[in-house]
């Protein structure tokens, strides 16, 4: 069995795994008497352009170049004792203490087996649904633990906590706002101006004072540090803090109790696979130092659907944990993450944000060697803007061939359009949109260009519709944005 790791600026959960490495002496009652770490797999993010493999696969559903089933997953670092700047290693006792502090305030999230997706990816799959937390993310575990420890510390000294401040792209912000308000602590949250509207609104609704500042997390971080000094608040780091890490690490304890004989845990981080993928226009890396550089570095900002793990610099504490306990990684891009979000919606009726769906994306693409194993995927968050979700669903329908566009050239005479739509209807395709162009459709005089957006059952059905139109004498192109029909 094994303890797992997290998401976002990484390694919080890996720290949990790290806290119980090797074979610890029996410390718990029940069926778990010892803890070891065996096979934690992380899923970083890269952004690459689409490579269509079907005439209608305009969104780039499948990539022409694949890396094979886990051939690039490898052990990155040797196992060794963690020692960060002389600080003590987080222990199992720290995780147990954190669980005791947050038990009455944070959901013990379910970890059901996913029969449908597991069958698709060839393993026994369990989904740790952290998207069901009150704030929609595992982040509130660390926030709750940190705030509880701060309150106890100040109370022991007979002092009053003036307030806290943090910088976050959304999930940590909501966790701090919610649990600080519940404890009567004034919280100021600095968020990048590009933060999704949903996360900004939720943070305010949870009682936090939101300050929008900067184009990315790093600029928001600097402003939070300025507010810390100016207002005498306590700064709560989003990930590079032992109390935060211990709180997130409670997921590892729960996984060990919820899933027997676990072989692998798949989680999301932001680490590219190779130097080529580390180009700023291709990925949103978090740990470029990795096995080669051996230390964290700062990279240019990158836009990605998984903004929750798109930090420019990893924390020193989390990097040390990652470099000790990570077994391997795979790379997924935004298109594949979007596909995973759609699969979770359709198969499991659960909503994941980009970072939360990244681990499943790697499994769906066959990038990890998990065949026949018992695997847990941490769905670390579900705070996805509805506008982004709408675009993901639409693109997913296009990628699967369930929504297609056709450009048809027909005579510009009475009844011609009715005949065209009748043929489409006979094939049981639903017309969602229709545009009848005479002047702007590049058609000859006496002809018109009709652009159809159809709802179909998939690529095969779309091909059948097109074949019937061709058989009826129409000139058809599968993409309505393509050049004129010849």
Angle at Cα 287 formed by Cα 2 and Cα 125, nearest 5°? Answer: 35
Confidence of residue 160 (pLDDT cuts 50, 70, 90): confident
- Among candidate residues 182, 200, 235, the one where a domain is terminated: 235
206 and 284 part of one domain: no
Q: What is the largest CA-CA distance in the chain?
A: 89
| 326: in domain | yes
75 and 118 part of one domain: yes
The per-residue pLDDT for 442 is 64
119 and 248 part of one domain: yes
- Quote the mean pLDDT of the chain: 77
The per-residue pLDDT for 275 is 29
3-class SS letters over the chain? CCCCCCCCCCCHHHHHHHCCCCCCCCCCCCCCCCCCCCCEEEECEECCCCCCCCCCCCCCCCCCCCCCCCCCCCCCCCCCCCCECCECCCCHHHHHHHHHHHCCCCCCCCCCECHHHHHHHCCEEEEEEHHHCCCCECHHHHHHHHHHHHHHHHHHCCCCCCCEEEECCCHHHHHHHHHHHHCCCCEEEEECCCCCHHHHHHHHHCCCEEEECCCCHHHHHHHHHHHHHHHCCEECCCCCCHHHHHHHHHHHHHHHHHCCCCCEEEEECCCCCCCHHHCCCCECCCCCCHHHHCCCCCCCCCCCCCHHHCCCCCCHHHHHHHHHHCCEECCECHHHHHHHHHHHHHHHCCCCCHHHHHHHHHHHCCCCCCCCCEEEEEECECCCCHHHHHHHHHHHHHHCCCEEEEEEEEECCCCHHHHHHHHHHHCCCEEEEEEEECCCCCCCCCEEEEEEEEECCCHHHHHHHHHHHHHCCCEEECCCCCCCCC
From the list 169, 177, 74, 187, the residue with the least C-alpha distance to 134 is 177
- Domain containing residue 148: 140-235
The per-residue pLDDT for 443 is 62
pLDDT at 203 over 90: yes
pLDDT at 480 over 60: no
What pLDDT, in 10s, does the model give residues 212-255?
999 888 889 999 999 999 999 999 999 889 999 999 999 999 99
360 and 416 part of one domain: no
Half-sphere exposure of 185 (CA within 13 A, CB side): 32
The per-residue pLDDT for 441 is 56
For residues 89-106, give the mean pLDDT: 92
Beta strand 403-411 with 164-167 is: unpaired
274 and 217 part of one domain: no
The per-residue pLDDT for 166 is 96
From the list 453, 449, 439, 2, the residue with the least C-alpha distance to 262 is 2
pLDDT at 360 over 90: yes
Read off the CATH number of the domain in which 174 is found: 3.40.50.1100
Read off the CATH number of the domain in which 410 is found: 3.30.70.260
The per-residue pLDDT for 270 is 66
Helix pair 354-364, 334-343: axis angle to 10 deg: 90
Q: Does this model's pTM top 0.85?
A: no
223 and 86 part of one domain: no
126 and 274 part of one domain: yes
Confidence of residue 42 (pLDDT cuts 50, 70, 90): very low
Half-sphere exposure of 284 (CA within 13 A, CB side): 27
> In whole angstroms, how far apart are CA 217 and each of 122, 177, 223?
38, 17, 10
457 and 329 part of one domain: no
Listed in sequence order, the residues at least 6 apart from 468 whose beta carbon sits closer than 8 Å to its beta carbon are: 423, 426, 427
Most confident of 24-38, 292-306, 364-378, 430-444: 364-378
Half-sphere exposure of 394 (CA within 13 A, CB side): 9
Instruction: Specify the higher pLDDT residue, 62 or 191.
Output: 191
From the list 104, 231, 116, 215, the residue with the least C-alpha distance to 165 is 231
248 and 374 part of one domain: yes
The per-residue pLDDT for 446 is 76
Confidence of residue 327 (pLDDT cuts 50, 70, 90): confident
310 and 361 part of one domain: yes
261 and 123 part of one domain: yes
For residues 153-167, give the mean pLDDT: 93
pLDDT at 481 over 50: no
Instruction: Specify the higher pLDDT residue, 79 or 128.
Output: 128
248 and 373 part of one domain: yes
Instruction: Specify the higher pLDDT residue, 225 or 283.
Output: 225
- Among candidate residues 367, 394, 421, the one where a domain is terminated: 394
Q: pLDDT above 90 covers what percent of the chain?
A: 53
Counted domains in the chain: 3
| 327: in domain | yes
- Among candidate residues 235, 268, 286, the one where a domain is terminated: 235
pLDDT at 8 over 70: no
């Amino acid at each position: 069995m094994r303890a797992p790791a997290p998401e976002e600026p990484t390694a919080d959960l890996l720290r949990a795994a790290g806290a119980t490495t090797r074979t610890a002496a029996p410390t718990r009652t029940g069926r778990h008497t010892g803890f070891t770490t065996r096979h934690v797999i992380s899923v970083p993010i890269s952004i690459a352009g689409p490579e269509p493999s079907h005439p209608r696969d305009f969104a780039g559903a499948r990539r022409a170049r694949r890396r094979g089933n886990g051939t690039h997953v490898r052990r990155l670092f040797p196992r060794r004792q963690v020692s960060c700047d002389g600080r003590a290693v987080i222990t199992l006792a720290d995780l147990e203490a954190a669980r005791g502090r947050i038990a009455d305030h944070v959901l013990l999230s379910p970890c059901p087996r996913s029969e449908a997706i597991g069958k698709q990816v060839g393993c026994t799959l369990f989904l740790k649904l952290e998207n069901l937390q009150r704030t929609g993310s595992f982040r509130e575990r660390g926030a709750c633990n940190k705030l509880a420890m701060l309150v106890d510390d100040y109370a022991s000294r007979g002092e009053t906590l003036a307030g806290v401040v943090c910088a976050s792209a959304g999930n940590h912000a909501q966790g701090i706002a919610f649990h600080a308000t519940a404890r009567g602590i004034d919280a100021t949250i600095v968020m990048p101006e590009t933060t999704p509207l949903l996360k900004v609104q939720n943070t305010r609704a949870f009682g936090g004072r939101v300050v929008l500042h900067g184009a990315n997390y790093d600029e928001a971080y600097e402003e939070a540090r300025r507010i810390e000094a100016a207002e005498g608040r306590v700064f709560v780091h989003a990930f590079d803090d032992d109390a935060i890490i211990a709180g997130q690490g409670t997921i590892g304890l729960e996984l060990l109790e919820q899933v027997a004989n676990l072989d692998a845990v798949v989680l999301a981080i932001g680490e590219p696979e190779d130097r080529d993928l580390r180009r700023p226009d291709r990925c949103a890396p978090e740990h470029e130092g990795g096995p080669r550089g051996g230390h964290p570095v700062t990279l240019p900002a990158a836009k990605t659907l998984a903004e929750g793990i798109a930090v420019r610099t990893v924390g020193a504490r989390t990097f040390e944990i990652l470099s000790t306990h990570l077994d391997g990684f795979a790379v997924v891009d935004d298109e594949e993450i979007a596909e995973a979000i759609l699969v979770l919606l359709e198969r499991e009726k659960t909503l994941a944000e980009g970072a939360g769906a990244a681990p499943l994306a790697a499994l769906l693409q066959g990038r990890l060697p998990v065949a026949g194993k018992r695997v847990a995927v941490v769905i670390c968050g579900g705070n996805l803007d509805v506008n982004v979700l709408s675009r993901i669903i639409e693109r997913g329908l296009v990628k699967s061939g369930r929504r297609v566009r056709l450009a048809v050239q027909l005579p510009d005479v009475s009844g011609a359009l009715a005949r065209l739509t009748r043929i489409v209807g006979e094939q049981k395709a639903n017309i969602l949109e229709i545009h009848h162009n005479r002047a702007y459709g590049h058609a000859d005089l006496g002809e018109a260009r009709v652009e159809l957006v159809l709802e179909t059952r998939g690529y095969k059905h779309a091909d059948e519709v097109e074949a019937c139109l061709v058989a009826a004498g129409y000139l058809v192109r599968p993409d309505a944005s393509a050049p004129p029909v010849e």
